[in-house]
Amino acid sequence: MSRSATGASFLPEFCGSRMAFVVVLLAQLLAIVLTLSTPGTRVSEFDRLALYSVMSLWIGLLCLGTLCLLRRHVEALPDHLAATACYATTLAVTLAVSEVAWQLTVGWFTLADSVGTNHAGFLLRCLGISAIAWALALRYFYVRQQWRRRVESEADARFAALQARIRPHFLFNCMNTIAGLTRQAPALAEQAVVDLSDLLRASLHSAGQPVTLAEEIALCRGYLRIEQHRLGERLKVDWQLPPGNLGQRLPALTLQPLLENAVYHGIELLPQGGTVTINCVVAPDGTTITLSNPVLAGEPGITQRHGHNMARENVAQRLAAFFGRDGLLKIHEQPGHYSIELLLPDENPDR
């Protein structure tokens, strides 16, 4: 899920000098730990450190190189398979290097003292150490990668929140409408300017600023008046509001972006237009607002636009932050019809 959202892979970048440096450092630390933990034998401490270093560096760097080459192929796998493949690779490389080391030390350099006499035992010891060291290292890389990804997606979300406030598409269309109205109907042009000013003012408020439902509805009416100039007969609006004063509090610009979605993704694409319905029901446990609109069903060439989800998620986040709980926004999608339901709980009145 988060892979597609951020475009970043589950696997860290294995190729590169930074990673090589980290692996060299870890391998060297491991060699030092091993040297410190074994009692002195006929082989001196420095010789042992040298041997351990050579061994751990070879294993570390060869593993890294193999992972670097493999990364492209493994990346396409599901996350758990990719992780398993990487781990298995490190173990295989360890085994291969250990075997080569055994052959070299026993056969060529006659350094049997430093490796012992048991071939299988030597391989198993190397494998065990490497298995633990790589498990820790891969875990560390994984955590670091996750952290980096989270930082990136948080920054994205913040940027999206800033951008979602007023859509450039709407702003420039609105300017065009005003330019068109100025000559033919100056009074309507004036009203459009005032409505637009209210919208801009609201969007310049800091996010999550509380307003009453009545205020938000007034803002939405202004927004829809502007769209009405543009779309004319194609846009019909049906307000189903309960009588009385709607004093519930909610974050500013909660309904408006959703209405904008209904117009931009629904009504605007329908040659005959349609009706946007805003239904509001006040119950003891909270107020439920349902926005529904017709959409184009199964038209070829219409792909779900990115902005749709962005505005919706933005609203969901702000509702969750404001009321301190999730799941206040529900979506019902049918072919040709879209509706979105908001619950404003009757709690937290002091916010």
Partner 1 sequence: MKILIVDDESLARTRLRELLRDSDGGHTVLEAENGIFALELAQRESPDVVLLDIRMPGMGGLEAAIHMARLPNPPAIIFTTAFDEHALQAFEASAVDYLLKPVRAERLAQALSRARMLRSAQVTELRRLQPDARQRTHLSIRSREGLLLVPVDEVAYLRADQKYVAAAWRQREVLVDESLKALEDEFAGLFLRIHRNALVAREHILGLERQRDGTMAVRLRAVAEAIPVSRRHLAEVRATLKGQ
Residues that bind partner 1 (CB under 8 A): 168-169, 171-173, 175-181, 183-184, 229-232, 268-271, 296, 298-303, 305
Min dist. Cβ of residue 264 to partner 1 (A): 9
Chain centroid, CA 177 distance in Å: 36
304 vs 161, 174, 273, CA distance in Å?
A: 20, 23, 19
Min dist. Cβ of residue 297 to partner 1 (A): 11
Min dist. Cβ of residue 191 to partner 1 (A): 14
Min dist. Cβ of residue 232 to partner 1 (A): 6
Please list the residues that pair with 235 across neighbouring strands. Answer: 274
Min dist. Cβ of residue 235 to partner 1 (A): 11
Min dist. Cβ of residue 300 to partner 1 (A): 5
Min dist. Cβ of residue 337 to partner 1 (A): 17
Between the two ends of the chain, the Cα-to-Cα distance in Å is 33
Q: In a 10 Å sphere around its CB, with 0-12 CB exposed, 13-18 middle and 19+ buried, how is residue 259 labelled? A: buried
Shorter beta-carbon distance to partner 1: residue 39 or 298: 298
Shorter beta-carbon distance to partner 1: residue 80 or 183: 183
**AA identity, residue 80:** H
Shorter beta-carbon distance to partner 1: residue 177 or 293: 177
**Structural tokens at position 127:** 């494998």
Pairwise CA distance, residues 179 & 169, whole Å: 15
Q: In a 10 Å sphere around its CB, with 0-12 CB exposed, 13-18 middle and 19+ buried, how is residue 341 labelled? A: middle
**Structural tokens at position 69:** 């080459």
Shorter beta-carbon distance to partner 1: residue 73 or 305: 305
Question: What is the DSSP-derived secondary structure letter of residue 277?
Answer: E
**Structural tokens at position 158:** 């913040």
Shorter beta-carbon distance to partner 1: residue 248 or 293: 293
Shorter beta-carbon distance to partner 1: residue 229 or 318: 229
Pairwise CA distance, residues 158 & 297, whole Å: 32
Shorter beta-carbon distance to partner 1: residue 53 or 261: 261
Cα Rg, the chain, nearest whole Å: 32
Q: Where are the beta strands (DSSP E) in the chain?
A: 210-212, 235-240, 249-251, 274-283, 286-294, 329-334, 337-345
**AA identity, residue 53:** S
Min dist. Cβ of residue 174 to partner 1 (A): 9
Shorter beta-carbon distance to partner 1: residue 168 or 349: 168
